[in-house]
Amino acid sequence: MVRLKGEKKLSRSGKVFIFIAFAILLVTFALSIFFYPRLPQVIATHWNAFGEVDGFMQKFWGVFILPIFSSAITLFFILVPKVFRTKESEKFRETYYKMAIVLSLLFLLVQIHTLLWNIGTKLNANVFISLTLGGLLMSFALIFDDMGKRIKNETKGDITFLECYDLNSVRAVSLTFKVIGIIAILGAFFPRYSVWFVVIPLMFSPFLIALFISIKS
């Protein structure tokens, strides 16, 4: 891994991705501030596998800990390719930005669910988790699809064994995320058991990845 010198100009699409990520953060904080006066002093912040509340926090930290954590994660993905500049991080710089968008959007949805629940609009937690995690996994699958296209385009047909393995690995991860994402979304139709539609496929994900790599090799 070779560190690069000099600063590469950020592409227009990269700037758009960063803007979207920070816009989502701004909306997350804005909604938190808007709902804050309407919330009780102690709010629900965690739900168990049966969709029942089993965790509470004082209002301030219960409202703002997720936006703060989301900000840290977003900054991490935006700064990593800038601070740790290598050939690999430069190649997939926009991939980091896309991950920042997907994760910040996930945290925004979780925050909306928490805020609505605590003002009396109690959405089914298990259905919400199934749909959001399924959407998250499908989004990551699309990001890995884009990574695979970048690897394939850069090799221009002259592909080494290592590059072929990297390409097959990326495709296998993408396919695994798609399969688990679809199963997770199906779990929304069985709220009582939806957590198992997420947990069990995730437990077997390493085996699925290995299987898909062997099939594509």
**pLDDT tens for the 217 residues of the chain, in order:** 444 455 567 778 888 999 999 999 999 999 999 999 999 999 999 888 788 888 899 999 999 999 999 999 999 999 887 777 666 666 778 888 999 999 999 999 999 999 999 999 988 889 998 999 999 999 999 988 888 777 777 655 554 544 555 677 888 888 999 999 999 999 999 988 888 898 898 898 888 888 877 776 5
Out of 59, 93, 121, a domain closes at 121
Please give the sequence-ordered ranges of beta strands (E in DSSP) within 48-197, or none if there are none.
53-58
Q: Note whether 114 and 214 are same-domain residues.
A: no
Specify the pairing of strand 53-58 against strand 42-47.
Answer: antiparallel
Query: In this structure, are 146 and 160 located in the same domain?
Result: yes
Alpha helices in 156-191 (DSSP H): 161-186
Does 6 map to a domain? no
pLDDT given at position 7: 55
Strand partners, 57: 43
Last residue of a domain, one of 77, 101, 121: 121
Q: Which residues, in sequence order, are bridge partners of residue 85?
A: none
pLDDT confidence of residue 164? 53
Cβ neighbours of residue 82 closer than 8 Å, sequence gap 6 or more: none
pTM for this entry: 0.83
Structure tokens at 2: 């070779």
For residue 82, what pLDDT is reported? 78
Is the domain of 79 the same as that of 15? yes
Residues 107 and 154 in one domain: no
pLDDT at 64: 96
* Amino acid 110: pLDDT: 94
Name the domain boundary from 88, 121, 154: 121
Residue 182's domain spans which residues? 124-217
